[in-house]
């Protein structure tokens, strides 16, 4: 059985790590790191690349990248510049994280390799999933799916299974394959 992989321009990483787990560095995420947010607001690309390098050297297999802030309106442009710099200087595959499908699609189009799309879900009317599924199918990209359905976050075990099944079935309708 072939193990699915993601890749940067320089390195491929098995999604199934032995020993588990696959480690995704989360420090280049403005939603969870004050330092990353400060660097983004200061246009400090070198600082963000250094943060990525440290995580990679510390054992992260992949790196989550999210630059969304309420203080900036140029998420797409900033993300494109950052993923280009990261792709040239860091060998870890990237995990693209944004609530804006256009930011995600633009980013994956310029990343050499096979990144991961983070946080797909069926929240609300499912329009975000509808925009991202064709991108995932076109480029053969894996995604991290969250158990959030039309009624919000699944809370009980049964709701989580139902939402996961709905995500799976909806993905199949768009030609997505399970890996």
Segment (H or E) for 122: none
- Asked whether residue 133 falls in the same domain as residue 92, the answer is no
For the record, the structure tokens of 106 come out as 């633009």
Looking at the structure, tell me whether residues 33 and 98 fall in a common domain: yes
By DSSP bridging, strand 5-7 and strand 12-14 are antiparallel
The series of mean pLDDT values per 10 residues for the chain, 179 residues long, is 90 96 98 97 98 98 98 98 98 97 97 96 94 94 96 96 95 88
Q: What's the CATH code of the domain at 53?
A: 3.20.20.20
Residue 77 neighbours by CB distance under 10 Å: 13
Determine the pLDDT at residue 179: 73
Q: Are residues 145 and 69 in the same domain?
A: no
pLDDT of residue 1: 63
Dihedral angle computed from the Cα positions of residues 58, 50, 106 and 151, in that order, rounded to the nearest 10 degrees: 50
Statement to judge: residues 141 and 167 lie in one domain: yes
Domain of residue 57 covers 10-115
């Amino acid at each position: 059985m072939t193990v699915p992989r993601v890749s940067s321009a320089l390195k491929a990483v098995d999604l199934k790590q032995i020993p588990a787990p696959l480690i995704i560095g989360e420090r280049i995420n403005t939603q969870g790191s004050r330092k990353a947010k400060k660097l983004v607001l200061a246009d400090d690309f070198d600082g963000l690349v250094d943060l990525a390098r440290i995580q990679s050297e510390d054992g992260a297999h992949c790196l989550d990248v999210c630059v969304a802030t309420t203080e900036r309106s140029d998420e797409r442009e900033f993300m494109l510049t950052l993923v280009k710099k990261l792709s040239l200087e860091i060998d870890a595959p990237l995990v693209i994280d944004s609530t804006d499908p256009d930011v995600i699609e633009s980013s994956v189009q310029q990343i050499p390799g096979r990144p991961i799309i983070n946080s797909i879900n069926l929240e609300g009317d499912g329009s975000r999933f509808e925009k991202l599924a064709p991108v995932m199918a076109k480029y053969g990209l894996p995604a991290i799916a969250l158990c959030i359905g039309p009624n919000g976050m699944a809370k009980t075990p049964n709701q989580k299974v139902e939402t996961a099944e709905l995500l799976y079935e909806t993905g199949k309708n768009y030609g997505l394959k399970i890996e």
